[in-house]
Amino acid sequence: MTDGISRSRRKKRNLKKRFLESWQWYLLLLPGLVYLIIFHYIPMGGILIAFKNYRPARGIFGSKWVGFANFIRFFQFPDMFKLIWNTLSINLLKLAMFPIPIIFALMLNEVRSARFKKTVQMITYIPHFLSMVVVCSLVILFLDKDSGVLTDLFVALGMKRQNLLGVPEAFPWIYALMDEWQGFGWGSILYISALSGVPQENVEAARIDGANRFQVIWHINIPAIMATIIITFILRLGGLMGLGYAKIFLLQNNLNLPRSRVLSTYVYEIGLMGGQYSYSTAIGLFNTMVGLTIVLISNAFIKKISDVGLF
């Protein structure tokens, strides 16, 4: 009992000592921590309206409690599986393109000219900073049936002239490719940074032993960044059910609606436009819980076979 009390006191003294020694770092951490609490943790209390028949005039606590009625309503919605499939089909295509930033980073790492490397990086980073309105407008212009650059290219390759944004089956590919084009350069930064930490003596030793560039990449570079790849892959898996509504909404039209109507656009329609706040919150909570479950399962599985995981 006495040993336990003294051990607890020692821990408190050590914590106090570390805090006093590093108080500047904690001060730098404070604004980010305050932002996280105000804009991320406190609003989580609003999840409660998913279990209520929320009325703004009555407030969250004054609204009637309905339990899982909003969830049951969604599960009974005739188009539920269609919305889920539309969301999954786009995210599965995006997941299939997961290696693109990795391959780009590995290729860029092999470039010896620093000037050329910086130029390529700058060009590939630019789309990330473009407004989604601009990016979607470019896609609409490029795929225009009469004057679109990409449409003319497809016609030259033997395809018939048509408005691809009006073809429902083409929409998941258009969105996934657009999203990858906008983000692969920026997404490669993480892997380029990880590759910069690869010990050059290992690379030189491999080359002395006769390894070519591909063998160096396969046996040294990729294993060195494998932990980063695994963690980012697990996080990507967690977003299989998540898809921002803004880009979808900007590219959506009556012709591609059968494949462009996803969970996020449905929540936007019934929540912000229809005023069904409880119902839309329930769908969002269901979406989040599915994503969390996928992360936990994939993390446990991948950690078991590779000993690397989020936690």
Write the pLDDT tens digit of every residue in 124-164: 999 999 999 999 999 999 999 888 899 999 999 888 899 99
Confidence (pLDDT) at 123: 94
CA-to-CA dists, residue 124 to 103, 190, 203, angstroms = 14, 14, 27
Confidence (pLDDT) at 4: 54
Rounded to whole angstroms, the Cα distance separating 143 from 162 reads 9
Please provide the average confidence, as pLDDT, over all residues in the chain: 90
pLDDT exceeds 90 at position 70? yes
| Rounded average pLDDT over 11-35 | 85
Of the pLDDT bands very low, low, confident and very high (cuts 50, 70, 90), residue 103 is very high
pLDDT exceeds 80 at position 11? no
Confidence (pLDDT) at 185: 93
Rounded to whole angstroms, the Cα distance separating 159 from 145 reads 12
| Rounded average pLDDT over 97-101 | 95
pLDDT exceeds 80 at position 9? no
Instruction: Indicate the range of 63-72, 92-101, 102-111, 299-308 predicted with least confidence.
Output: 299-308
Of the pLDDT bands very low, low, confident and very high (cuts 50, 70, 90), residue 5 is low
Confidence (pLDDT) at 6: 66
pTM summary value:
0.85
- Rounding to the nearest 10 degrees, give the CA dihedral for residues 85, 88, 93, 96: -130
Of the pLDDT bands very low, low, confident and very high (cuts 50, 70, 90), residue 202 is confident
Of the pLDDT bands very low, low, confident and very high (cuts 50, 70, 90), residue 215 is very high
pLDDT exceeds 90 at position 280? yes
Cβ burial, residue 163 (10 Å; 0-12/13-18/19+): middle
CA-to-CA dists, residue 168 to 133, 141, 220, 286, angstroms = 21, 18, 43, 26
Orientation angle between helical segments 80-96 and 222-238, nearest 10 degrees: 170
Tell which CATH architecture fits domain 77-306. Orthogonal Bundle (1.10)
Confidence (pLDDT) at 23: 84
Query: Is the Cα torsion angle 42, 80, 252, 177 positive or negative in sign?
Result: positive
The domain segmentation of the chain, as residue ranges, is: 2-65, 77-306
